[in-house]
Amino acid sequence: MSRMLRLLVVGSMNMDLVLQTDRIPAPGENRMGEAYSYLPGGKGANQAVAAARLGAEVFLVARVGRDANGRKLCRGLKAEGITTKFVSVDPASPSGLAVVLVEDSGQNRILVYPGANMKLTVDEVGTALRDEYEAVLLQLEVPDAVVAASVRTARQKRVPVILDAGPARPFDLKLLDGIDILSPNQSEAEALTGLPCENAAEAEKAARRLRTLSAARHIVIKMGAAGAFLLTDGASELVPAFQVQAVDPTAAGDSFTAGLALEWLRTGDLRRAVRYGNAAGALSAMTIGAQPSLPSAAEVEDFLARNCPNITG
């Protein structure tokens, strides 16, 4: 059996308040919801859990508050086998909180209060990066300085870097200094480039702009039910999504990114990695909640075997 890939994830941890409803209220409207639950989330923690379930040895750099939510989030990570020695406790800020509204149609809307996530420090990342990893996985729910320091230190150590460019917000792409994979979704790509990203033709223009601004080796734009647009040396294409009945897409992008990163590290084949990520994301979208929805490696392989029986490699 091959050695497990060691992955460092630098990112956020949130408690998600998930509210289910037939539809989102209009401005000024008061509607009755159908159900609610508190579930672990945060893009960093989601991607850490997704990667662990897909077979990686995962280390998470994050910060929580000194509160019940923080303790519960850390217990959940440990139960997944994730190393939490780089998860710190902030004495003054509460743990991050996200309110997730999920419609019966499968559409969602998310409002995030970052809390302790924005108190993560450059020094904490530096300490974690003294160890050796096969890749570093980043998101934008932590301070820009932390993202920049992670990229800089990882590149000095010649460790591949993958950035999931969410949530949508202004960010200086020059800080990425030629990372390996930059992967926003459509709204994030538009926020970063100012260009629309509604179809494959627009996605290609946005991807080329992203590559120019960031010097990233590869661009992968997540396009929901359409799939993912891949731009790399000498090639650009829309890799189609798998058609499933979406229930809650909250962590589908995080599941995609973890699957993409691990399959690329295992095989070196980025198109195959995008297809694998599409499968992981599709499975996640079929279940309510962020971390409860994240599939295992066996589930992804079974899904691919059933949906791509004639595709190898």
Q: Is 196 exposed, middle or buried (0-12, 13-18, 19+ CB in 10 A)?
A: middle
- End-to-end Cα separation, the chain, in angstroms: 19
Write down how long the chain is.
313
| Residue reference for tokens 């396009």 | 223
Positive or negative: CA dihedral 181, 185, 191, 197: positive
Q: pLDDT value at position 2?
A: 57
Q: How many helices (H) and strands (E) does the chain have?
A: 9, 13
pLDDT tens string 67-93: 999 999 999 999 999 999 999 999 999
Q: Which one of the listed residues 22, 131, 254, 269 is annotated catalytic?
A: 254
Record the tokens describing residue 91, joined without a space. Answer: 């004495």
Beta strands in the chain (DSSP E): 6-10, 14-21, 35-41, 57-65, 87-90, 96-103, 108-113, 135-138, 161-164, 181-183, 218-222, 227-232, 235-240
Q: How do the domains of the chain map onto residue ranges?
A: 6-11+42-91+116-307
| Residue reference for tokens 């059933």 | 306
Question: How many CB atoms within 10 Å of residue 298?
Answer: 11
d(CA 14, CA 113): 9
CATH of domain 6-11+42-91+116-307: 3.40.1190.20
Given a cut of 70, the residues of the chain with pLDDT beneath it are 1-2, 309-313
Q: pLDDT value at position 1?
A: 43
Element (H, E) at 52: helix 43-53
Q: pLDDT value at position 309?
A: 61
Q: Is 254 a catalytic residue?
A: yes
Q: pLDDT value at position 312?
A: 45
Record the tokens describing residue 146, joined without a space. Answer: 């932390």
Q: pLDDT value at position 90?
A: 97
d(CA 252, CA 259): 11
Q: pLDDT value at position 254?
A: 96
